[in-house]
Structure 1
Amino acid sequence: MKAAVLYKYNEPLKIEDNVKIAQPKEGEVKIKIAVTGMCHSDVNVFEGKTPVPPPVVAGHEIAGIVEEVGPGVTRVKPGDKVVSAFIHPCGKCRMCVSGHENLCETFSQVRLKGVMMDGTTRLSLDGQQVRTFLGGGFAEYSIVGENALTIVPQDLSLDKVAVLGCAGLTGYGAVNLAKIEPGETVAVIGVGGVGLSVMQLLKASGAGRIIAVGTKKWKLDRAMELGATDVINSKEVDPANTIKTITNGGADVVIEAGGNEQTINIAMNSVRLGGRVILVGLPPVSAEIPFKVANIVRNGITIIGNYGGRPRVDMPRLLDLVKLGKYDPTKLVTGKFKLEEINEAVKLLNQGEAIRSLIIPD
């Protein structure tokens, strides 16, 4: 099959035509990929900031058709339209059975190794194993665990729902974890795919003032279209002070979706006394970002890390929100590219000129 393979960090991806894919094993599903969204987490792999060992095929916002199922699979069947979450829960560990499958203990042990739950890969090229990052969707086919998959209603197109696999599910998990009360003021730091998903879901959940913070005017304009009541360009004004001024003391909740030291510090300095900070953005794994702990303690700030949502519980709800018109994932898509054009999509994302690009293998 055809796939975009990373051989060395910070080098262009190479399109290979003869990657071999094995049959799915116990609990696994082979998907013929229709479309895969490109996320900054993929770019972090390409740059070695998320150090999955190459050669590796990335891509984790996958939508397609079930081609084949392995032994024991009961949730999907060949021919089903499916969307895959970037989280692949085992369904059996302590976290999964206690309702926290987004924190699956088994998956957490393998996700940065680029292997399946059993520690092996399903891809190879010229006799060498090829790893995958959270599904390996930049290819014609992918093999994932069945618990990552949700059947897509026939009246929804696959290119419409692909970005639910990460941007949508992460945004849903953040808003759900924040336990937003009607009318609460929420600041969202970062207006990429996750941040714009958060804003739509905040509006659907009854949040009051929704303040978007970013650096690109066109993205802030998109935020206003999708539910923001106020926008702040952090290149033009001090964002934390501005938030505190317009909210008379700070936001009740701040959801951080940028994943770098600057955006995290903005979040920590923008919340009111007794408020909540939800950290969603993923910095490089080696990053150490200091907090002023005394301020956190004295101000009674609650800091919560959020890693996505629960695929088997939250993804069906997201699909319902799409059908109801309360969440529109197409508003995140800024371009479509053939697999052979993937390096151009990477370039645009790195330059801040894209939110989500769709990669189409055919």
Structure 2
Amino acid sequence: MKAAVLFKYKEPLKVVDNVELDPPKEGEVRIKVEATGMCHSDVNVFVGATPVPPPVIAGHEIAGVVEEVGPGVTRVKPGDRVVSAFVHPCGKCRNCISGHENVCEVFSATRLKGLMMDGTSRLHFKDGSPLRFFLGGGFAEYAEVSENALTVVPQEIDLKKAAVLGCAGLTGYGAVNSLKLEPGESVAVIGAGGVGLSVIQLLKASGAGRIIAVGTKKWKLDKAMEMGATDVVNSKETDAVRALKEMTNGGPDAVVEVAGVPDTIKMAMDSVRLGGRIVLVGLPPATAEIPLRVATIVRNGIQIIGNYGGRPRIDMPRLMDLVKMGKYDPNKLVTGTYHLEEINEAVHSLEQGEALRSIILPS
């Protein structure tokens, strides 16, 4: 099959046609890929900040049609239109059975190794040499994932646009869910990319009061206002911490940090209200050092919540319902469509801050 492969960090992807995909094993599903969203987490793999060993096929916002199922699969069948979450829960570990499948212990142990949950890969080159994947490997004609990652997409939802639900949508849902939001609370969202704008849409749907988008690009902040933000702060043009405190009379009740860089994490710490909550969503490079002023956190009673997405089997169907009701619109996140051969253009556009979510079509 054809796929876009990263052979070496910080080098362009190469589209090759000598990739083979073995049949799905127990609990696994083969998908004919219709579309895959391009996320910053993929770019982190390309530059080595998320060190999945190359050669590797990235792409984790996958939408497609079920082609083949392995033994024991019951959640989907051939012909189903599906979206894959970037989280692939085993369904059997302690976290999965206690309702926390977004932090599945088995998946956590294998996700950065580029392997299936049994510690092996279904991918290889025709000459037999090994090949790995990142959270699904959707930048290809076919992908294989755990059935527990999949949700059937209703006919009224555009399958190609539904791809962004797999990460941007589900991550936004998980972030808002972890806030335990009270009606009318003020929330600042730092970062106005695909995930940040998903958070904003879902905050509006959940009854937040003042929703303040913080970013550095005017066009993205304009998008934030279109999607439900009540206010925006351009942190390149103003002191964002001071602005947030003035706008909310002491600081937002909660801050969702999506950018994942030291400066914006510090911004969240400095701006949140006494006794407030911070949800950390953005993933900094694995080697980044983020200093925390523990005394301030303790004295101010600040809650810091790390959130790794949502629960595919529980939250994704709810997210689908919000899409059907018009309360979350994945179409608004899609800023470009590229064919697989154009994938490096999509990577460049995202790195330059010119895209929210680009859709990659396999053909």
Category of TM-score, reference length = shorter chain? over 0.9
Shift of the alpha carbon at 1:293?
A: 1.3
Partner of 2:63: 63
Shift of the alpha carbon at 1:345?
A: 0.3
Superposition pairs for residues 333-348 of structure 1, below 5 Å? 333-348=334-349
Question: In structure 1, how many angstroms separate the alpha carbons of the residues matched to 2:206 and 2:161?
Answer: 22
Partner of 1:222: 223
Question: In structure 2, how many angstroms separate the alpha carbons of the residues matched to 1:322 and 1:297?
Answer: 39
After alignment, is 162-171 or 120-129 more displaced? 120-129
Query: Structure 1, residues 298-356: CA drift from partner, whole Å, max 9, x if none?
Result: 11100000000000000000000000000001111110000000000000100010110
For residue 286 of structure 2, give the secondary structure of its aligned residue in structure 1.
Answer: coil
Question: In structure 2, how many angstroms separate the alpha carbons of the residues matched to 1:64 and 1:39?
Answer: 17
Partner of 2:302: 301
Q: Is 2:177 the partner of 1:176?
A: yes
Partner of 1:25: 25
Partner of 2:51: 51
Query: Structure 1, residues 41-87: CA drift from partner, whole Å, max 9, x if none?
Result: 00000000000000000000000000000000000000000000000
Question: In structure 2, how many angstroms separate the alpha carbons of the residues matched to 1:266 and 1:329?
Answer: 28
Superposition pairs for residues 1-362 of structure 1, below 5 Å? 1-125=1-125, 126-362=127-363
Query: Structure 1, residues 175-206: CA drift from partner, whole Å, max 9, x if none?
Result: 00001110000000000011000000000000
Shift of the alpha carbon at 1:250?
A: 0.1
Question: In structure 2, how many angstroms separate the alpha carbons of the residues matched to 1:270 and 1:188?
Answer: 11
Corresponding letter in the other structure for 1:266: M
Corresponding letter in the other structure for 1:197: S
Report percent identity of matched pairs: 75
For residue 96 of structure 2, give the secondary structure of its aligned residue in structure 1.
Answer: helix
Corresponding letter in the other structure for 2:15: I
Shift of the alpha carbon at 1:286?
A: 1.4
Question: In structure 1, how many angstroms separate the alpha carbons of the residues matched to 2:8 and 2:87?
Answer: 25
Shift of the alpha carbon at 1:129?
A: 1.1
Corresponding letter in the other structure for 2:348: K
Question: In structure 2, how many angstroms separate the alpha carbons of the residues matched to 1:70 and 1:154?
Answer: 25
Corresponding letter in the other structure for 1:267: A
Gaps of 5+ in 1: none
Gaps of 5+ in 2: none
Query: Structure 1, residues 267-322: CA drift from partner, whole Å, max 9, x if none?
Result: 11110000000000000111110011111111110000000000000000000000
Query: Structure 1, residues 8-52: CA drift from partner, whole Å, max 9, x if none?
Result: 000000001120110000000000000000000000000000000
Question: In structure 1, how many angstroms separate the alpha carbons of the residues matched to 2:256 and 2:279?
Answer: 5
Shift of the alpha carbon at 1:160?
A: 2.0
Question: In structure 2, how many angstroms separate the alpha carbons of the residues matched to 1:330 and 1:300?
Answer: 39
Give me the TM-score of the superposition, normalised by structure 2: 0.99
Corresponding letter in the other structure for 1:301: I
For residue 222 of structure 1, give the secondary structure of its aligned residue in structure 2.
Answer: helix
After alignment, is 58-67 or 293-302 more displaced? 293-302
For residue 251 of structure 1, give the secondary structure of its aligned residue in structure 2.
Answer: coil
Shift of the alpha carbon at 1:237?
A: 0.5
Shift of the alpha carbon at 1:221?
A: 0.1
Corresponding letter in the other structure for 1:94: R
Corresponding letter in the other structure for 1:317: R
Query: Structure 1, residues 187-243: CA drift from partner, whole Å, max 9, x if none?
Result: 000000110000000000000000000000000000000000000000001101100
Give me the TM-score of the superposition, normalised by structure 1: 0.99
Corresponding letter in the other structure for 1:329: P
